[in-house]
Amino acid sequence: MTFPDFNHFCGVLIFHFNLKTMAGKVVIQGTGILLVTANVGSLFEDPENLQKTWLREFYQTVHTYKPHFIGLHCQEVGGKNFEESMSHVDKFVKEMLSSDSMKEFNRARVYLDENYKSQEHFTALGSCYFLHESLKNVHQFDFKAKKFKKVTGKEIYADTLESTPMLEKAKFPQEYFPECKWSRKGYIRTRWSIADCTFDLVNIHLFHDASNLIAWENSPSVYSRTRQKALSYVLDRITDQRYEKVPHFLFGDFNFRLDSKDVVARLCPSANMQTIRTADTNEVDKLIFREMDNDKKVVLQLEKKLFDYSNQDVFRENNGTQLLEFDKELTVFKDRLHELEIAFPPSYPYSEDSSQGKQYMNTRCPAWCDRILLSISAKELILKSENEEKAVVYDNIGPNVCMGDHKPVFLSFRIAAGAGKPYANKHKCCVVQ
CA nearest to 40, candidates 107, 113, 103, 120: 113
- Structural domains in the chain plus CATH codes: 12-257+311-430 (3.60.10.10)
Give residue 9's pLDDT band: very low, low, confident or very high (50, 70, 90): very low
pLDDT of residue 250: 98
Structure-model confidence comparison of residues 32 and 24, the more confident one: 32
Alpha carbons 113 and 250: distance in angstroms, whole number = 18
**Which tens digits make up the pLDDT trace of 41-78?**
999 888 888 999 999 999 999 999 988 888 899 999 99
Confidence of residue 421 (pLDDT cuts 50, 70, 90): low
| Structure confidence by residue, pLDDT tens digits, 266-287 | 999 999 999 999 999 999 999 9
Confidence of residue 401 (pLDDT cuts 50, 70, 90): very high
Half-sphere exposure of 390 (CA within 13 A, CB side): 11
Please, is 142 exposed, middle or buried when counting C-beta atoms within 10 Å of its C-beta (0-12, 13-18, 19+)?
Answer: middle
What's the pLDDT score for residue 390?
59
Q: If you average pLDDT over residues 77-92, what whole number do you get?
A: 82
Alpha carbons within 13 angstroms on the beta-carbon side of residue 312 total: 18
pLDDT digits 0-9 by tens, 213-263: 999 999 999 999 999 999 999 999 999 999 999 999 999 999 999 999 999
Higher pLDDT, 191 or 426: 191
pLDDT at 53: 94
Of all residues in the chain, the percent with pLDDT exceeding 70 is: 86
Give the mean pLDDT of 419-425.
55
**H-run or E-run covering 213:** helix 212-217
